[in-house]
């Protein structure tokens, strides 16, 4: 419970993914992963689903992550064949220990990581999604 009697994690869930506020309050079809266990399970499920996916590794303290998250959510509605996943690196310290830059985007096809994009850029992200769709 926080100082005002509410649950801080619950409030973060309502305001945005991983505590990041989203413009318009919409998450599109982005799945939020908040723990190492959830991220490992999500990565395992990508292998069995064989669908294209993109994981956005961000951080609540990263201003660039905050800027790219709304377009990422919008793109989840445009590229419906993709599975869109957001994870805050601070919530998954074991599974994200090799992430050295935020945001980092990992692209998956047939359960295997096929590409990585470091940094933001709405047009760059859109082009990568188009390339992998």
12, 43, 62, 99: the catalytic one is: 62
Kindly give the interhelix angle for 63-78 and 122-132, rounded to the nearest 10 degrees: 40
Q: How many residues does the chain have?
A: 133
d(C-alpha 133, C-alpha 129), whole Å: 6
CA angle 39–52–129, rounded 5-degree value: 105
| Alpha helices (H) along 22-86 | 36-49, 63-78
12, 59, 65, 85: the catalytic one is: 65
Give yes or no: 65 in active site.
yes
Give yes or no: 62 in active site.
yes
Say if CB 60 and CB 90 are below 8 A apart: yes
Question: 3-state class of 104 per DSSP?
Answer: strand
Catalytic residues: 62, 65
């Amino acid at each position: 419970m926080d100082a005002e009697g509410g649950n801080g994690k619950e409030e973060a869930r309502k305001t945005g993914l991983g505590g990041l506020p989203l413009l318009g309050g919409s998450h599109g079809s982005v799945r939020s992963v908040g723990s190492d266990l959830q991220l490992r399970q999500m990565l395992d499920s990508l292998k069995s689903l064989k669908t294209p996916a993109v994981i956005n590794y961000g951080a609540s303290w990263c201003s660039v992550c905050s800027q790219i998250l709304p377009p990422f959510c919008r793109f989840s509605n445009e590229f419906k064949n993709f599975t869109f996943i957001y994870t805050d690196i601070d919530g998954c310290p074991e599974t994200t220990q090799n992430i050295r830059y935020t945001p980092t985007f990992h692209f998956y096809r047939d359960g295997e990581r096929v590409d990585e994009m470091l940094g933001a850029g709405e047009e760059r992200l859109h082009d990568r999604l188009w390339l992998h769709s």
